[in-house]
Structure 1
Amino acid sequence: MPRFAPLPDRRPALVAGASSGIGEATAIKLAANGFPVALGARRVDKLQEIVGKIRADGGEAIAVHLDVTDPDSVKAAVEQTTSELGEIEVLVAGAGDTYFGKLDSISIDEFESQIQIHLVGAYRVASAVLPGMLQRQRGDLIFVGSDVSLRPRPHMGAYGAAKAALVSMVTNYQMELEGTGVRASIVHPGPTKTSMGWSLPAELIGPALDDWAKWGQARHDYFMRAADLARAITFVAETPRGSFIANMELQPEAPLAGNTSRQKLTLGEEGMPA
């Protein structure tokens, strides 16, 4: 006799922040693995392009407008997802951006914006889907964290503070949801090649690279692909009942010793040199 009823064959997923980067790759991977997926973000036109590609490959997907800083937008996105795909079984809370700057040079508004999107926004969308999960006694809340929350990095203090608070929030979810059938997980990306942070001006990047090197936080210039994180997040979602992934950290493997080829230095997902 199994300890838990198996997960249903149909598990609708809502991916917040699905218009680019890790969120886009995760939506594509989930759909390829049979999850009906609602792609949520503010850029609905970009979402429609991704949805078209998913459907062309045989997947099931819809685009929903989602701004995690707007309660009405979150409510509408959850209602649309539920109406068109069914009750949400999986949430991937990955919406976000990063503000780059030392703590003594950024404004209160800039600091607060990071808290609002990475912490309050994640809580807002989780709160919107959690009641249904509790009623069904199953569901996965998967949050996208950052290695910056585990090892703070100069010039990313606001972003790191928000992500560190997210770790605390997810840990509380894990304790408070114990015995409900709802699982809460957090996946921490290390340096990942996405568009986030790539447009930063040189006057911000240069001093940061110097400080990261000083603190041993730029040991090599290899970075992960968004698809690497998508595979990990999908693995968390597909974990059979009876266990769950509490915390997962992914880091890029360093180049083999003696490899003289180097990629052009750019800035990756988590603010690291790529």
Structure 2
Amino acid sequence: MPRFEPHPQRRPTAVAGASAGIGAATAQALAASGHPVALGARRVDKCRELAEKIRADGGHALAVPLDVTDEGSVDAFASTVAEEFGEVEILVYGAGDLDADLVHEMDGERFHAQLDVHLGGAHRLVSRIVPGMVERRRGDVVFIGSDVVPQPRPRMGAYVPAKAGLEAMARTMRMELEGTGVRASVVRPGPTATSMGVKWDEKTTEAVLNDWVRWGLARHPYFLRASDIADAVHHVVSAPRGVHLTLIEVEPEAPLEER
């Protein structure tokens, strides 16, 4: 007799922050595995483009407007996904951008905005979707963390505490959900080539990189691809029931040295 019933073959999936980067790559990876995927983001036009591509490739995808800082938007997103695909079995949270500045030079509005999108938004979706998972006694919640949690980086005044809070919430949930059949996991990327930071001006970019070098946080020039992180998420949710991959950290391998 198996300890757990296997995962359903078709697992309705919700990806928050699916308009670009890691979220978009994750949506594509999970759709390619046969899961119907709801793409949520404020830039719903980008989600629609990606959903069309997924459908053209034979997958099932739906673009749904989602502002994770708005309770009504989160509720409408979850309701739409349930109506179209069924109750969510996989929730991937990767919403948020990176606002670069020193802690003491950040005004309160910018600081709290980062906390709200990275941590507050995650809680809004969790509180709306996870109770149903607990009731069905199965489900996966994957949070996209960051390697700034174990090794903070300067000039990420709000991003570091926001991601630290997100990973702390994930660890707390893991304890609280033990025995429910619901798995809470963190995929922690290292430096990844995404659209985060593209709005920085030249002065900000130079200051950030110089400080990273100063603190030994830019040892080599290689970056991960968004698809590398998507592969890790896919691995986490594809683990058979009874196996819980609680944390996967993904770092870029350095270029080969000259010999």
Match of 2:34 in 1: 34
Match of 1:105 in 2: 105
CA distance in 1, matches of 2:177, 2:19: 30
Higher mean C-alpha displacement, 208-217 vs 63-72: 208-217
Match of 1:269 in 2: none
Deviation at 1:205, TM superposition (A): 1.6
Match of 1:11 in 2: 11
Match of 2:258 in 1: 258
For residues 29-178 of structure 1, the aligned pairs below 5 Å read 29-178=29-178
Q: Deviations over 1:15-52 (max 9, x none)?
A: 00000000000000100011110000111111111011
CA distance in 2, matches of 1:220, 1:116: 32
Deviation at 1:204, TM superposition (A): 1.0
The RMSD of aligned alpha carbons is 0.9
Match of 1:198 in 2: 198
Deviation at 1:78, TM superposition (A): 0.4
Q: State the one-letter code of the partner of 2:102.
A: K
CA distance in 1, matches of 2:220, 2:198: 18
Deviation at 1:199, TM superposition (A): 2.8
CA distance in 1, matches of 2:183, 2:137: 10
Q: Deviations over 1:105-151 (max 9, x none)?
A: 11111111111000010111111101110110000010011111121
Tell me the number of residue pairs that the alignment of Structure 1 and Structure 2 aligns.
259
Query: TM-score with structure 2 length normalisation?
Result: 0.98
SS in 2 for 1:76: helix
SS in 2 for 1:200: coil
Match of 2:234 in 1: 234
Deviation at 1:74, TM superposition (A): 0.3
Q: Which runs of 4+ in 1 moved over 2 A?
A: none
CA distance in 1, matches of 2:178, 2:211: 41
CA distance in 2, matches of 1:10, 1:206: 46
Higher mean C-alpha displacement, 102-111 vs 22-31: 102-111
CA distance in 1, matches of 2:212, 2:62: 40
CA distance in 2, matches of 1:257, 1:77: 48
Match of 1:218 in 2: 218
CA distance in 1, matches of 2:168, 2:110: 22
Contact 1:93-1:126 within 8 A present in 2 as well: no
SS in 1 for 2:243: coil
Q: Deviations over 1:83-111 (max 9, x none)?
A: 00011000001111111001121111111
SS in 1 for 2:104: coil
Deviation at 1:181, TM superposition (A): 0.5
Contact 1:38-1:64 within 8 A present in 2 as well: yes
- Consecutive unaligned residues in structure 1, runs of 5 or more: 260-274
SS in 1 for 2:148: helix
Q: State the one-letter code of the partner of 1:48.
A: R
CA distance in 2, matches of 1:213, 1:45: 37
SS in 2 for 1:127: helix
CA distance in 2, matches of 1:65, 1:206: 34
Q: Deviations over 1:186-237 (max 9, x none)?
A: 1111111111102311111212222111111010110011010111101111
CA distance in 2, matches of 1:45, 1:103: 33
- Consecutive unaligned residues in structure 2, runs of 5 or more: none
